[in-house]
Structure 1
Amino acid sequence: MTDNPAEVVESPRSPRRSRRRWRRMGIVFTIMALLFGVPWWTLLASGAAWPAPAVATGTLLFAAAFAALPALMAFGHGRRHLDWAAALGDALLGAAWVLFVWSVLGQLLRLALLVAGVDDPARSRLVAGAVVAVVAILLVWGHFEAMRVPRVKEVDVAVDGLGRGLDGLRVAVITDTHYGPIDRARWSAAVVARVNDLSADVVCHVGDIADGTVDVREAQASPLASARATLARVYVTGNHEYFSEAQGWLDYMESIGWTALHNRHLVIDRGGDRLVIAGVDDATAEASGLRGHGADLDAALAGADPGLPVLLLAHQPKQVVHAVRAGVALQISGHTHGGQIWPFNFLVRLEQPVVHGLSRHGERTRLYTSRGTGFWGPPFRVFAPSEISLLTLRHA
Structure 2
Amino acid sequence: MTVGETVETAPRRRPGRAARFGLIITAILLLLFGVPWWTLVAAGNHWPGPVFAVGTILVVALAAAFPVLMFTGHGPHHRDGAARAADTLLGVVWVLFTWSVLSLVLRAVLAVAGVADPDRSRIVTAVVALVALVLLLWGYAEAMRVSRVRRVEVTLPRLGAGLDGLRVVLLTDTHYGPIDRARWSRGVVEVVNSLEPDIVAHTGDIADGEVSQRREQAAPLGDVRAKLARVYVTGNHEYFSGAQRWVEHMASLGWEALHNRHVVVTRGGSSLIVAGVDDRTAAGSGVPGHHMDHDAALRGTDPSLPILLLAHQPQQLTGAVAHGIDLQLSGHTHGGQMWPFHYLVRLDQPVLQGLSHHGERTHLYTSRGTGFWGPPFRIFAPSEITLLTLRAG
Matches for 1:262-281 after TM superposition, within 5 Å: 262-281=259-278
Q: Which amino acid aligns with 1:237?
A: T
1:180-213 deviation per Cα after TM superposition (whole angstroms, max 9, x unaligned): 1111111111111110110011001110001111
How many angstroms apart in 2 are the aligned matches of 1:341 and 1:308?
Answer: 39
3-state SS of the aligned residue for 2:123?
A: helix
Choose the corresponding residue for 2:254, options 249, 254, 257: 257
Say yes or no: does 1:331 pair with 2:328.
yes
Choose the corresponding residue for 1:87, options 78, 84, 103: 84
Q: Which residue of 2 aligns with 1:148?
A: 145
How many angstroms apart in 2 are the aligned matches of 1:78 and 1:330?
Answer: 35
Q: Which residue of 2 aligns with 1:299?
A: 296
Say yes or no: does 1:170 pair with 2:185.
no
How many angstroms apart in 1 are the aligned matches of 2:35 and 2:100?
Answer: 7
Q: Which amino acid aligns with 1:300?
A: A
Choose the corresponding residue for 1:187, options 184, 194, 197: 184
3-state SS of the aligned residue for 2:130?
A: helix
3-state SS of the aligned residue for 1:266?
A: strand
3-state SS of the aligned residue for 1:134?
A: helix
Say yes or no: does 1:5 pair with 2:8.
yes
| Deviation of the 1:122 alpha carbon | 1.2
Q: Which residue of 1 aligns with 2:231?
A: 234
Say yes or no: does 1:105 pair with 2:102.
yes
| Deviation of the 1:7 alpha carbon | 2.3
Matches for 1:7-26 after TM superposition, within 5 Å: 7=10, 10=12, 14=13, 17-26=14-23
Taking structure 1 as the reference length, what is the TM-score of the superposition? 0.96
Q: Which amino acid aligns with 1:5?
A: E
Matches for 1:1-396 after TM superposition, within 5 Å: 5=8, 7=10, 10=12, 14=13, 17-396=14-393
How many angstroms apart in 2 are the aligned matches of 1:6 and 1:339?
Answer: 40
How many angstroms apart in 1 are the aligned matches of 2:71 and 2:350?
Answer: 32
3-state SS of the aligned residue for 1:350?
A: helix
3-state SS of the aligned residue for 2:295?
A: helix
How many angstroms apart in 2 are the aligned matches of 1:158 and 1:238?
Answer: 27
3-state SS of the aligned residue for 1:331?
A: strand
How many angstroms apart in 2 are the aligned matches of 1:19 and 1:359?
Answer: 42
1:202-251 deviation per Cα after TM superposition (whole angstroms, max 9, x unaligned): 00111000111111111110110000011110000000111121111111
How many angstroms apart in 2 are the aligned matches of 1:18 and 1:395?
Answer: 58
How many angstroms apart in 2 are the aligned matches of 1:292 and 1:4?
Answer: 17
Change (3 A) 1:327 1:5: closer
| Deviation of the 1:155 alpha carbon | 0.5
| Deviation of the 1:78 alpha carbon | 2.2
Taking structure 2 as the reference length, what is the TM-score of the superposition? 0.97
How many angstroms apart in 1 are the aligned matches of 2:9 and 2:267?
Answer: 55
Change (3 A) 1:5 1:280: closer
How many angstroms apart in 2 are the aligned matches of 1:56 and 1:108?
Answer: 27
3-state SS of the aligned residue for 2:348?
A: coil
How many angstroms apart in 2 are the aligned matches of 1:4 and 1:170?
Answer: 46
1:272-330 deviation per Cα after TM superposition (whole angstroms, max 9, x unaligned): 11111110000111111222111111111111110000000000001111111111110
1:110-131 deviation per Cα after TM superposition (whole angstroms, max 9, x unaligned): 1111122221111111111100
User: Which 5+ residue runs of structure 1 have no aligned equivalent?
Assistant: none
Percent of residue pairs identical: 62
Q: Which amino acid aligns with 2:8?
A: P
| Deviation of the 1:164 alpha carbon | 1.3
Q: Which amino acid aligns with 2:108?
A: L
Q: Which amino acid aligns with 1:7?
A: A
Indicate the larger mover: 65-74 or 136-145.
65-74
| Deviation of the 1:363 alpha carbon | 1.1
3-state SS of the aligned residue for 1:209?
A: coil
| Deviation of the 1:371 alpha carbon | 0.3
How many angstroms apart in 1 are the aligned matches of 2:371 and 2:288?
Answer: 29
| Deviation of the 1:26 alpha carbon | 1.4
3-state SS of the aligned residue for 1:349?
A: helix
3-state SS of the aligned residue for 2:266?
A: strand
Q: Which amino acid aligns with 1:184?
A: R
Q: Which amino acid aligns with 1:217?
A: R
